[in-house]
């Protein structure tokens, strides 16, 4: 005698509702990731477009943070004099997976303002963390090329900004006050080839990445989970019971 499957039980309705919720939620998350990927794709295009523009003229340099945000990744050529006493070694920075320091020095521009230049990366001494390499900082008028960037990224600290040459983070306003300089609210990643006198500096700055592929990968995972949920429901709640009914003997 065959079992009666004509009337769905409350348990089967509950399973259907749960499957619909999971499918709907995961599909929505997949579309959200696609939207984020599209936003990042447009940002990547914007960055690449800015990089192709001619270098900024001195008169075009952003005077404030809001204007600077529209100039990030633009090429720039600067003339000025180094302020060596303002050099800071930002620790716990990596290049090619190696720990070390970012070397940041103010460049005094000819119209009185200054800008922090991220001159490059140097490796950390494996035996003495406080031992710093000697890096030449030439006197006189310097010309350098680079690209506009935000101030050096902040890492987690315990609220102590520090005052020595080695610091975890750099507070531009506090640093400007201690040096008596008018620092612009942005920085420059120097891109000139490293001179022999600047060894062991390295300037293998990574290209700006927006993570488009990451969002596409997440979207694929969410859509796959949605499809898996739907497939499992169809198999266990529709196909498998039908096959079982067909296999039951008639009495």
**Looking at residue 9, what is its pLDDT?**
80
Contact 82, 106 (CB under 8 A): yes
- Residue among 153, 164, 57, 47 at smallest CA distance from 109: 57
Instruction: Judge whether 212 lies within some domain.
Output: no
**Looking at residue 167, what is its pLDDT?**
92
**Looking at residue 82, what is its pLDDT?**
96
Instruction: Judge whether 55 lies within some domain.
Output: no
Contact 74, 50 (CB under 8 A): yes
**DSSP string spanning 45-85?**
HHHHHHHTSPPBPGGGS-SSHHHHHTTTT-EEEEEEEE-GG
Q: Do 79 and 184 belong to one domain? A: yes
Question: How many domains in the chain?
Answer: 2
Instruction: Judge whether 147 lies within some domain.
Output: yes
**Looking at residue 111, what is its pLDDT?**
80
**Looking at residue 159, what is its pLDDT?**
58
Q: Tell me the per-residue pLDDT of 160-212, one tens digit each, with 9 for 90 and over.
A: 556 689 999 999 999 999 999 999 999 999 999 988 888 889 999 887 766 78
Q: Do 223 and 193 belong to one domain? A: no
Instruction: Judge whether 179 lies within some domain.
Output: yes
Q: Do 95 and 28 belong to one domain? A: no
**Looking at residue 116, what is its pLDDT?**
96
Instruction: Judge whether 161 lies within some domain.
Output: yes
Cα–Cα separations (whole angstroms), residue 78 to 24, 94, 133, 147: 54, 26, 25, 10
Instruction: Judge whether 208 lies within some domain.
Output: no
**Looking at residue 196, what is its pLDDT?**
84
Instruction: Judge whether 34 lies within some domain.
Output: yes
Low pLDDT (below 70) residues in the chain: 1-8, 158-163, 209-210, 249-251
Instruction: Judge whether 205 lies within some domain.
Output: no
* Residue 91, domain extent: 74-198
């Amino acid at each position: 005698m065959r079992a009666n499957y004509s009337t769905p039980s409350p348990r089967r309705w509950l399973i259907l509702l749960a499957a619909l919720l999971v499918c709907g939620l995961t599909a929505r998350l997949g579309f959200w990731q696609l939207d984020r990927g599209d936003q990042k794709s447009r940002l990547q295009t914007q960055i690449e477009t800015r990089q192709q523009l001619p270098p900024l003229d001195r008169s075009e340099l952003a005077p404030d943070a809001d204007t600077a945000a529209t100039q990030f990744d633009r090429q720039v050529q600067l003339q000025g004099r180094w302020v060596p006493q303002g050099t800071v070694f930002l620790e716990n920075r990596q290049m090619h997976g190696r720990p070390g320091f970012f070397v940041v020095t103010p460049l005094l521009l000819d119209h009185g303002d200054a800008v922090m230049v991220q001159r490059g990366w140097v490796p950390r001494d494996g035996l003495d963390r406080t031992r710093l390499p000697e890096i030449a900082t030439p006197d006189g008028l310097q010309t350098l090329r680079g690209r506009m960037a935000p101030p050096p990224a902040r890492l987690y600290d315990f609220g102590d900004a520090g005052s020595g040459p080695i610091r975890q983070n750099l507070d531009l306003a506090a640093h400007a006050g201690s040096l008596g300089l008018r620092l612009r609210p942005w920085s420059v990643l120097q891109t000139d080839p490293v001179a022999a006198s600047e060894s062991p500096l390295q300037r293998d700055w990574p290209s700006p990445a927006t993570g488009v592929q990451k969002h596409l990968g997440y979207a694929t995972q969410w859509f796959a989970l949605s499809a898996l949920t739907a497939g499992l429901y169809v198999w266990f709640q529709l196909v498998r019971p039908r096959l079982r009914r067909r296999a039951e003997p008639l009495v």
